[in-house]
Amino acid sequence: RTGARVERLPLARFTTLGVGGESEVWFVSDHAQLAEAMEQPYRILGGGSNLVIADEGVPERVIRLSGPLAERDLEPDPHLSTEGEIVTGWVGGGVPLPGLIRQLQKLGLSNLEGTVGIPAQVGGAVWMNAGTRYGEMFDGLHTIEIVTPQETRQVTPADLQWGYRDSGIPRNHVVSRVRLRLRPSTPEAVLEKMDFADNARKGQPKMKTPGCAFKNPGGVSAGRLIDEAGLKGTRAGNALIAPEHANFIVNLGGATAADVHALLDAIRARVPVPMELEYELWP
């Protein structure tokens, strides 16, 4: 045994929606522990900010990156950095993105400030190339380390077919750590761009939620489409289509996964345009 900490815990406490039953959580803090956890069927849990998890939990092991895999080394790597662009040391997949973005702003390092306000972990945000209209994760990546049960490999963005909300990395390939590619700027200039991107969130609900339910089809706001279908404020059990922004489902307190599924079904039934789900449903 490699010494990974294993505990049965309610997953609700790891999700921004606050829904999800008890499951076996593996806290892995190095590559050996990660490899051991991956010997049996597993799922990888990041910040839990895009997940709707069943009230029964999941039968698989749930892997959570912790310890050194949730630490960051932002020192410029002297071999990879140039005058106009710095490449950092390794940043663990388990690092919370909001704190990282704040730290980069204070250091006056640019490229990732467009992702301000995304309550993810670095690994989860890279895996789905989280972003806003002002920037996305792939704007600031140099190397991505990917772990599968068979191998560990390091790739660059050019090796991947990435796009809107998609890294091209297959499901269950673990983003264990990354090197960031950043442009030296000033704290003031980075803050200005950050505030601009953050401003676009003013109309988003402040309650427990996994963010936007559907991807924007062909660049059209899914929120606008759901709104136009007259669904704002629709309630199922203790889940609600947010009156502030129709692409957000919020937990009024005590919502179940079934409540959220009922709202997703209602949206699919009423919006005439096919939309791809952004939430991930476990199982």
To ligand FAD, the closest distance from the beta carbon of 197 in angstroms equals 9
Q: What is the dihedral of CA 60, 65, 67, 68, to 10 degrees?
A: 140
Of 64, 145, 177, 212, the active-site residue reads 212
Q: Which does 105 bind (CB under 5 to 8 A by kind): ligand FAD, ligand EPU, none?
A: none
If the CB atoms of residues 147 and 246 are measured against ligand EPU, the closer one turns out to be: 246
Of 60, 85, 165, 280, the active-site residue reads 165
Q: Check residue 210 for interaction with ligand FAD (CB under 6 A).
A: yes
User: Could you give the CA distance from residue 48 to residue 58 in angstroms, rounded to a whole number?
Assistant: 14
Q: Check residue 50 for interaction with ligand FAD (CB under 6 A).
A: yes
Q: How many residues belong to the site for ligand FAD (CB under 6 A)?
A: 31
Does residue 278 carry a catalytic annotation? yes
- Residue 237 contacts residue 255 (beta carbons within 8 Å): yes
To ligand EPU, the closest distance from the beta carbon of 243 in angstroms equals 8
- Which of 111, 121, 251, 256 binds ligand FAD (CB under 6 A)? It is 121
- Which of 17, 37, 147, 222 binds ligand EPU (CB under 6 A)? It is 222
Q: Check residue 28 for interaction with ligand FAD (CB under 6 A).
A: no
Residue 39 CB neighbours (<10 A): 9
- Which of 69, 112, 223, 275 binds ligand EPU (CB under 6 A)? It is 223
Q: Check residue 143 for interaction with ligand FAD (CB under 6 A).
A: no
User: Could you give the CA distance from residue 85 to residue 95 in angstroms, rounded to a whole number?
Assistant: 22
Q: Check residue 280 for interaction with ligand FAD (CB under 6 A).
A: yes
To ligand FAD, the closest distance from the beta carbon of 16 in angstroms equals 4
User: Could you give the CA distance from residue 172 to residue 146 in angstroms, rounded to a whole number?
Assistant: 10
Please report the DSSP string for the chain in residue order.
----EEEEEEGGGGSSS----EEEEEEE-SHHHHHHHTTS-EEEESS-SSEEE-TT--SSEEEEE-GGGG-B--SBPTTT--SS-EEEEEEETTSBHHHHHHHHHHHTEESSGGGTT---BHHHHHHTT-EETTEEGGGGEEEEEEE-SS-EEEE-GGGS--BTTB--PPTT-EEEEEEEEEEE--HHHHHHHHHHHHHTTTTS--SB--SBSBPPGGGS-HHHHHHHTT-TT-EETTEEE-SS-TTBEEE-SS--HHHHHHHHHHHHHH-SS---B-SEEE-
Q: Check residue 166 for interaction with ligand EPU (CB under 6 A).
A: no
DSSP bridge pairs for 163:
166
Q: Which does 16 bind (CB under 5 to 8 A by kind): ligand EPU, ligand FAD, none?
A: ligand FAD
> Which of 32-40, 49-57, 233-241, 258-266 is the region at the interface with ligand FAD (rule: CB under 6 A)?
49-57
Q: Check residue 51 for interaction with ligand FAD (CB under 6 A).
A: yes
If the CB atoms of residues 79 and 171 are measured against ligand FAD, the closer one turns out to be: 171
Site residues for ligand FAD, 176-195, by CB under 6 A, read none
Does residue 165 carry a catalytic annotation? yes
Site residues for ligand FAD, 75-114, by CB under 6 A, read 93
Interface with ligand EPU (CB under 6 A) = 132-133, 200-201, 203, 211-212, 215-216, 221-224, 227, 245-247, 278
Q: Which residues are catalytic?
A: 165, 212, 278
